[in-house]
Amino acid sequence: MKVLVIGGGAREHALVWKLSQSPKVTKIFAAPGNGGIAQLAQCVPVPETDLDGLLTFALREKIDLTVVGPEVPLVAGVVDRFKANGLQIFGPDQKGARLEGSKKYAKEFMLKYQIPTAQYAAYDNLNEACAGLEQFAFPLVIKADGLAAGKGVVICHRKEEATAAIKSMIEDGKFGAAGKEIIIEEFLEGVEASLLCLVTADKIIPLESAGDYKRLLDHDQGPNTGGMGCVSPNKTLTPSLMAAIEREILKPALKGIQAEMMDYKGILFIGLMITAQGPKVLEFNVRFGDPETEVLLPRLETDLVDLFLKTIQGTITREDLVWSQKTCLGVVLATAGYPESSGSGQAITGLDEVDAEIMLFHAGTKREDQLVTNGGRVLAVVALGDPLDQARTKVYSNIKKIHFDGMQYRTDIGR
């Protein structure tokens, strides 16, 4: 079968890598892909935001299965467009994608279906938002309502910081239309965890757990990023805690998806904070996480095509998912200035010196005369190991072989 993967980051590289292992797949296309994906798939110059172009390509090539990587085309309604034209596609419809497309909507959904989350208030007026700060204790969290590439969240410890963050979003347009409405949210204390679930008409099935490192610098310092590293499994999510998550979060979420009549055949990514009061939801995403995907898929021993098709058809069961018991660890290499700015054009060297067991998932790369950087997050360096320290040692010893000007990364992933 012919498969199209929409997107061009490390998440999509990991998806292409895993899909390429299926005996059912005869050809993979990626739109637009990147310098690493090009080694496994045919990259086509159609942006992920060009829904007309993507649909035209899929119809012309008679694509059997489309997998959507990023959130932007999902929120724009790519699944609805493909299904209306008789194409098989993995991902939620536009109504379901609102769970990520609007943080205000997601919070309303959580309250309606009694899903534990932080207290919040929504504002679209600068003065009202600044006055609303009085209702919260510090630290607190300011979030842009819409999509902001994982960067629209600011943790504020003082009123001056919070006022500046509100002004930058509502008045200065730091995140464009995404920040014209904001959420002020209670700051939750605890341990973060990521849980990705397969969702179909009558089931929500959790994948293996992962732990993402959002902050730019060691010891969880610096600004929030799209993710600087990840580990799977996440030892925080014990069997008893998973039972509580299923009871208090997954079952109500499925009830809400059904009640709101979402056509949801894809991934629900749940960002969790494990607090002293129990698990609470930080956010919903409606697609595979990045960098979570890069450490989950190497542990998956099931044919990924089968999982996607069974999810679309509604026949998926928990027994369909088989996982390696090894730990997987990944570290993201980023350009200087990330996340505020991203570099491009720096030559990347040393990849041919990396050990064969290391998985290199390209995020922001492109091929010119040689491989060069093309974005803020450049590469995810990933390894399996048993125990965790073995995977960690493999990754960090191989990172020393890789170079591009301004390369930065955290040194404490998995520590």
Of the listed ranges 99-103, 341-345, 351-355, the least confidently predicted one is: 341-345
- Shared-domain flag, residues 331 and 316: no
Across the range 281-296, mean pLDDT stands at 96
The mean predicted confidence, pLDDT, of the chain is 96
Q: Which of 275, 298, 320 is the last residue of a domain?
A: 320
- The pLDDT, as a whole number, for residue 23 is 98
What percent of the chain has pLDDT above 90? 93
- Residue at 414 is within a domain: no
What pLDDT band is residue 149 in, cutting at 50, 70 and 90?
confident
CATH code of 69's domain: 3.40.50.20
Give residue-wise pLDDT tens across range 245-264.
999 999 999 999 999 999 99
* Residue 409, in any domain of the structure: no
Main-chain phi, psi angles of 90, to 5 degrees: -100, 115
Question: Which has the minimum average pLDDT: 66-70, 107-111, 235-239?
Answer: 235-239
Distance CA(249)–CA(122), nearest Å, equals 22
Determine the average pLDDT of the residues in 9-27. Answer: 98
Same domain, 275 and 161: no
The pLDDT of residue 139: 96
Q: What CATH number is given to the structural domain containing 125?
A: 3.30.1490.20
- Same domain for 279 and 204, yes or no, is yes
Of residues 84 and 340, the one with the higher pLDDT is: 84
**Is 99 contained in some domain?**
no
Give the end of a domain, one of 149, 170, 186. Answer: 186
- 114-128, 223-237, 371-385: lowest mean pLDDT where? 223-237
Q: How many residues does the chain have?
A: 415
What is the domain-level CATH number for residue 214?
A: 3.30.470.20
Residue 393 has pLDDT above 80, yes or no: yes
* Same domain membership, residue 196 and residue 289: yes
Nearest to 106 by CA among 322, 312, 275, 260: 260
First to last CA, the chain: 42
For residue 381, name the pLDDT band (cuts at 50, 70, 90). Answer: very high
Q: What pLDDT sits at residue 341?
A: 84
212 and 301 housed in the same domain: yes
Q: How far apart are CA 279 and CA 25, in angstroms?
A: 39
Residue 76 lies in a domain: yes
pLDDT of residue 301: 97
**Residue 197 within any structural domain of the chain:** yes
pLDDT at 345 over 80: yes
Alpha carbons 19 and 182: distance in angstroms, whole number: 38
Query: Taking 90 as the threshold, does the pLDDT of residue 185 lie above it?
Result: yes
Residue 292 and residue 355 in one domain? no
Q: Say if residue 151's pLDDT is above 80.
A: no
Question: For residue 412, is it within any domain?
Answer: no
Give tens-digit pLDDT for 398-408: 999 999 999 99
Given a cut of 90, whether residue 12 has pLDDT beyond it is: yes
Of the pLDDT bands very low, low, confident and very high (cuts 50, 70, 90), residue 192 is confident
Is residue 212 domain-shared with residue 239, that is, in the same domain?
yes
Confidence bin at 160 (pLDDT 50/70/90): very high
Query: What is the total count of domains within the chain?
Result: 4
Is pLDDT at 340 greater than 90 in this prediction? no
103 within some domain: no
What average pLDDT does range 156-163 have in this prediction?
A: 96
pLDDT at residue 223 tops 90? no
Domain that holds residue 168: 119-186
Q: Are 301 and 363 within one domain?
A: no
Assess if residue 236 is contained within a domain. yes
